[in-house]
Amino acid sequence: MGAFAVPAVIFGLVCAVTFTIGFSKENVFNVMSYGAVEGTTRDSSHAILKAWKAACSSKTESSTVLIPKRHTLLVKPIVLRGPCRANSITFMIHGEIVAPTSPGEWTRTDQSQWLAFEGVSRLNVTGTGIGKIDGRGTRWWSQSCRDHPDLKGCTSLAPTAMKIISCNNTSLSNIHFINSSQTHVLIMGSKRVEIKNLVITAPESSPNTDGIHIHSSHNVIIKNTTIGTGDDCVSIGDYTSNVNISHIRCGPGHGISIGSLGRSGNFVQVEDIRVSNVYFKGTTNGARIKTWQIGRGNIRRVTFQNLYFESVNNPFIIDQNYGNLGGLSNEKQTGVHIANVSINNLFGTSISNVAINLNCSRSVACTGILLKSIQLKSANSGQKVTSSCLNAHGFSFGVVQPEPCLQI
């Protein structure tokens, strides 16, 4: 059946253009038709909510909410909820979405979020390479308790730019995120999520501005993405499994981290994590796993492969004593068991003298650690790098430098 255009369908005072191809239908809901206003001073939140409601309830195979080209829209905190009647729904950002600059706009609302999708299946959030989301987080950073602990009314919680909550079969792609107040992208309670072709940037000094954080989610792919922020490029939280992270450029920032986990003494369950083909430049850490002594549970079946480091502090770390300020005298008899970790093909330069640091618990040792094909050099002329191991058990093959220190 040939493609043909169907006249516009009127929803109240606004329009959605309908296209039919074969047996599938697609409705495009332009937010400008729902009252969105160009500029950074007038709020377009209600217009986007109206467009979303119309798209979500549409009796079509697929619906698209469109932020058109050459438009900048101010959006206050919103949650776009499902389930939707449309079989799939796309949130298309061809223009730019900006956050309010004043933290006061979050009064009497959830201070942790700005843009959120919740309970939507078959969601596609994309910008086709030109869409931009600007968190305009400067005012939040200036009152951060981390950087201004003596400031009266300082804040330890600030909005995440985009949350994807309980959304299955979801993709996020081709968007430039900049200057989130805190974490840029959070994936929580979701399954089968693909993230690709993002650019995420914030100043190196900006507090807690992680690029992507994954929590309580499964079957997640992150690939072909550039991240440079003030915290972890990618961080993996608890109750997470089957995550593939590949072809990432990371820096500045704190590297790619599993954890920290077990801070409240809870049972940790993280498994089947694969990190490969990552270029770290000037980061404070490279790849790391960090757990608190009072935690319990398991981190297992983790692979770090094909990692390149350029002037990186602490290229590889396992730290089961994270947050232990009391030293050995305060050591607990608990711990998260870290097992079956493969570290393969690590190359590049380290600023720190200890390039590989495996600081495992005296009570719950790290087991099944494999070091293979590693050649790290000092970024400082005339110096050599070393390894440090505490209660770390496993095997080494083809490790040129630093000299391995694993126990069998």
**pLDDT (tens digit per residue) in 239-259:** 999 999 999 999 999 999 999
CATH fold of 25-146+155-180 reads: Pectate Lyase C-like (2.160.20)
Three-state secondary-structure class, residue 311:
strand
Q: Which residue has the higher pLDDT, 18 or 164?
A: 164
Q: What is the 3-class SS of 324-382, one letter each residue?
A: CCCHHHHCCCCCCEEEEEEEEEEEEEECCCEEEEEECCCCCCEEEEEEEEEEEEECCCC
Share of the chain above pLDDT 70, in %: 91
Where does the pLDDT of residue 25 fall: very low under 50, low under 70, confident under 90, or very high at 90 and above? low
The CA distance from 251 to 171, in Å, is: 24
101-118 pLDDT tens trace: 999 999 999 999 999 999
Position 384 pLDDT exceeds 70: yes
Contact 66, 29 (CB under 8 A): yes
Domain residue spans in the chain?
25-146+155-180, 232-323+332-407
CATH fold of 232-323+332-407 reads: Pectate Lyase C-like (2.160.20)
In this prediction, residue 11 carries a pLDDT of 34
Contact 321, 359 (CB under 8 A): yes
Position 10 pLDDT exceeds 90: no
Q: Which residue has the higher pLDDT, 8 or 83?
A: 83
Residue 106 backbone dihedrals phi, psi, to 5 degrees? -100, 10
The CA distance from 198 to 179, in Å, is: 14
In this prediction, residue 30 carries a pLDDT of 98
Three-state secondary-structure class, residue 53:
helix
The CA distance from 189 to 250, in Å, is: 25
Catalytic, out of 176, 213, 254, 337 = 254
Structure tokens at 167: 């959304």
In angstroms, the Cα distances linking 6 to 20, 27, 64 are: 7, 10, 16
Give pTM, 2 decimals: 0.92
The DSSP H or E segment spanning 133 is strand 123-134
- DSSP letter assigned to residue 320: T
CB count within 10 Å of CB 221 equals: 16
278-289 pLDDT tens trace: 999 999 999 999
Q: Distance from first CA to last CA of the chain, Å, rounded?
A: 67
Contact 180, 135 (CB under 8 A): yes
Structure tokens at 44: 């377009």
- DSSP letter assigned to residue 106: G
Nearest to 278, CA basis, from 346, 341, 228: 346
Calculate the CA 119 to chain-centre distance: 19
CB count within 10 Å of CB 395 equals: 12
Contact 285, 257 (CB under 8 A): yes
CA-based max dimension of the chain: 76
308-334 pLDDT tens trace: 999 999 999 999 998 765 455 456 678
Q: Is residue 215 annotated as a catalytic residue, yes or no? A: no
Mean pLDDT of the chain: 92
The CA distance from 405 to 408, in Å, is: 10
> Same fold for the domain at 25-146+155-180 and the one at 232-323+332-407?
yes
Structure tokens at 395: 């095997």
Share of the chain above pLDDT 90, in %: 88
The CA distance from 67 to 69, in Å, is: 7
